[in-house]
Structure 1
Amino acid sequence: MRFIPFAGALFAAALAATTATSAVAATWPARQINLVVPFSAGGGVDNVARVLASGLAKELKQSVVVENRTGAGGLIGGKYVADAAPDGYTLLMGTQTTLAVAPLLHPDAGLDPLKAYAGISKVGSSPLLLVANPGFPAKTVRDLVALAKKEPGKINYGSGGVGTTPHMAMALLALDAGIRMTHVPYKGEQPALTDTIGNQISLMFSNLPVSLPLVRSGRLRALAVSSAARVPTAPDIPTVAESGIAGFEAGTWFAVVAPKGTPPAVVQTLNHAIGRALSDPKLRSTLQNQGVTVQAGSAADLDKYIESEYRKWARVVQQAHISIK
């Protein structure tokens, strides 16, 4: 009998928490929501964010404004959101760069994505295309691995800079294949593509929407796509995994996160709204035309995915000795 008052207190507390959660869900959102993009306007991440913002505003019946806060590989915008009030009104359009790679390369920034954010929903992903100059002797990933093992360090590959997704994807491929190549970082993807076409460097991973037209025109040769499955826009191009690097998968992914501590009811409301927005055929078509495969999911699944990506790229950074210095 002594435990009845305590049990009653627990029930009362649970009821109060449920009531408070319901109240939050019923009144949120009451004002404008800011979706922070940690990269410049007009880029791939910004384009995805703006498409999603319009659909999210329609679902929530509230303004959703895209705000660009650039710098430090996305860390400035990322830190801004991490330090914001956890009320659901400040969100981050995150990627593997901001939520995994950049914090690993800039440990002094003091941003731990596993502690700083609450996952809301994954939005989608965009594969990379492994392309080479048409005169490069390797025509497949198996050829590339054999050649690199024969001539360690002699094959030069480009990227848009240290820590970019194409750079990290090639570093992952090299680790998994047990080969060594030489990285040539550029200030942006386009100069690297230009030099691949001009045979100044041999090959590179590139964002598929950018490089596929160059493959179709014969200016570059495609070796493989970086996704786990072949892509509908290029079904004739094999994946890296089916070309001999089992389990390989890399690419640009997009996800919405909020500051850690955001009320579960708000997280759930946002997750459901994003899911509904991404199910709209017109919105899906717009994203697909940008090379994005739509991939919505639960908040819990996103938290697990971010952690797995963080661990994955931490291994690459450590074992490939990647540094911005």
Structure 2
Amino acid sequence: MAASMGVLAKGAPLTIVVPYAAGGPLDKSARILAEGVQAQLGPVQVDNRPGAGGNQGAAAVAKAAPGDNLLVMGAVATHAVNPWLSKDFPYDPIRDFKPIALVARTPNVLVMSTAQADALSIRSTSDLVKYLKANPDTLVFGSGGSGSIGHIAGEMFKSLTNTRMAHQPFAGAGPALKALQDGGVGLVFDNLASSLPLIRAGKLRALGVTSLGPDDALPGVPSINSEVPGFNVSTWFGLFAPASLPDAEARRYAGAFSAAMRSPASVQQFKAMGLEPEELTLDGFGSFVRSEYNKYEFLIKAAKIRVQ
């Protein structure tokens, strides 16, 4: 379908840059939305540009020329966490972008391999804390990388429970989950959307979700906060444009993507991933991003997290 109006008629087709490898929740969500907005915005492409923990793809959009017609499916990592982990960061997550729409918020989930959890008689977060206090430094927690949300969640967990365990970073959530199933690490704080199939298949045991309350996708699994008060770390992702995008175009994009997220077909596809589309757009999304940016500044400095 050809573009017939607005900025799309003047330059390249609109492209959503996903700053991570294909196949993950951000990539799948971008493809759902690219299909859902074509009637309003014309052809929309998805371009995976992984690298540097998401920074590479986000930086490309931050520095894009107006005619490039790029958006980025940014996330808590690219817009709230990563900037505090490097002195020479390639973009400003607040000034260099115009927030368009928050797509989804999802908790992480604390998972162990079912076999190891059974062997150690661990069925809940409280059981894990009890085990760690009796056996300090015997379990290793894995994550998708140093400074990732999974890493931050693990450090917060250690701090709030006064327990000890080493951290093993991997090059993404996939390798971390494989190491968990193979016995290379003892536990992982993973994105719910990526762990959900393994939990449903019985390969992983979910001990708790990292949001303040339980999640409908995991009935019967409590929040970690209910057993470790004060624990609250969630993943989110959404669409950002370069700061140079005119306000009128930003409003047009926000309306189109918001409508696409609410369509029955999209809602069903998001639900299958354990996600529920969000409603924040433009200024509301921008206020949320600034709040998250400040929150993770405090958490990262308090935990003294450094990229390894």
TM-score interval (norm. to shorter):
0.7 to 0.9
| 1:133-178 Cα distance to aligned partner (Å, 9 max, x none) | 3123443223333444555544321112212332222223333444
* Equivalent in the alignment of 2:149: 165
Deviation at 1:189, TM superposition (A): 3.0
* Equivalent in the alignment of 2:192: 208
Structure 1 window deviating more from structure 2 (102-111 vs 274-283): it is 102-111
Instruction: Tell me how large the CA RMSD over aligned residues is.
Output: 2.5
AA of the residue aligned to 1:125: R
CA distance in 2, matches of 1:28, 1:190: 37
* Equivalent in the alignment of 2:171: 187
AA of the residue aligned to 1:30: A
* Equivalent in the alignment of 1:35: 16
CA distance in 2, matches of 1:41, 1:193: 17
- Aligned with residue 88 of structure 2, among 108, 119, 122: 108
Deviation at 1:197, TM superposition (A): 3.5
Deviation at 1:207, TM superposition (A): 2.9
Matched, 1:128 2:108: yes
**TM-score in terms of structure 1 length:** 0.82
AA of the residue aligned to 1:41: A
Matched, 1:299 2:299: no
* Equivalent in the alignment of 1:274: 257
AA of the residue aligned to 2:237: F
Q: Is the 8 A contact 1:130 1:203 kept in 2?
A: yes
* Equivalent in the alignment of 1:80: 60
Q: Is the 8 A contact 1:129 1:222 kept in 2?
A: yes
* Equivalent in the alignment of 1:68: 48
AA of the residue aligned to 2:242: P
Q: Is the 8 A contact 2:25 2:194 kept in 1?
A: no
Q: Is the 8 A contact 1:39 1:71 kept in 2?
A: yes
AA of the residue aligned to 2:145: G
AA of the residue aligned to 1:314: E
Classify 1:211/1:37 alpha carbon distance in 2 versus 1 (closer, same or farther; 3 Å).
closer
Structure 1 window deviating more from structure 2 (157-166 vs 141-150): it is 141-150
**TM-score in terms of structure 2 length:** 0.86
| 1:54-80 Cα distance to aligned partner (Å, 9 max, x none) | 1122233x2211122222111121111
Q: Secondary structure at the match of 1:296?
A: coil
AA of the residue aligned to 1:106: S
CA distance in 1, matches of 2:251, 2:178: 45
Deviation at 1:82, TM superposition (A): 0.8
- Once the two structures are aligned, what percentage of the paired residues are identical? 34
CA distance in 1, matches of 2:270, 2:126: 32
* Residue segments in structure 2 that go unaligned for 5+ positions in a row: none
CA distance in 2, matches of 1:267, 1:228: 32
Matched, 1:156 2:137: no
AA of the residue aligned to 2:97: Y
Q: Is the 8 A contact 1:88 1:267 kept in 2?
A: no
Q: Secondary structure at the match of 1:293?
A: coil
* Residue segments in structure 1 that go unaligned for 5+ positions in a row: 1-25
CA distance in 1, matches of 2:184, 2:53: 26
Classify 1:36/1:209 alpha carbon distance in 2 versus 1 (closer, same or farther; 3 Å).
closer
* Equivalent in the alignment of 1:89: 69
Matched, 1:228 2:212: yes
* Equivalent in the alignment of 1:57: 38
| 1:237-283 Cα distance to aligned partner (Å, 9 max, x none) | 0011222323x332331100111242222221111111111110101
Q: Secondary structure at the match of 2:88?
A: helix
Q: Is the 8 A contact 1:159 1:184 kept in 2?
A: yes
* Equivalent in the alignment of 1:260: 243
Structure 1 window deviating more from structure 2 (197-206 vs 43-52): it is 197-206
Q: Is the 8 A contact 1:86 1:258 kept in 2?
A: no
AA of the residue aligned to 1:290: M
- Aligned with residue 244 of structure 1, among 228, 231, 237: 228
| 1:16-37 Cα distance to aligned partner (Å, 9 max, x none) | xxxxxxxxxx844434212111
AA of the residue aligned to 2:87: P
Q: Is the 8 A contact 2:193 2:275 kept in 1?
A: no
Aligned residues: 298
Q: Secondary structure at the match of 1:170?
A: helix
AA of the residue aligned to 2:49: R
Q: Is the 8 A contact 2:212 2:223 kept in 1?
A: yes
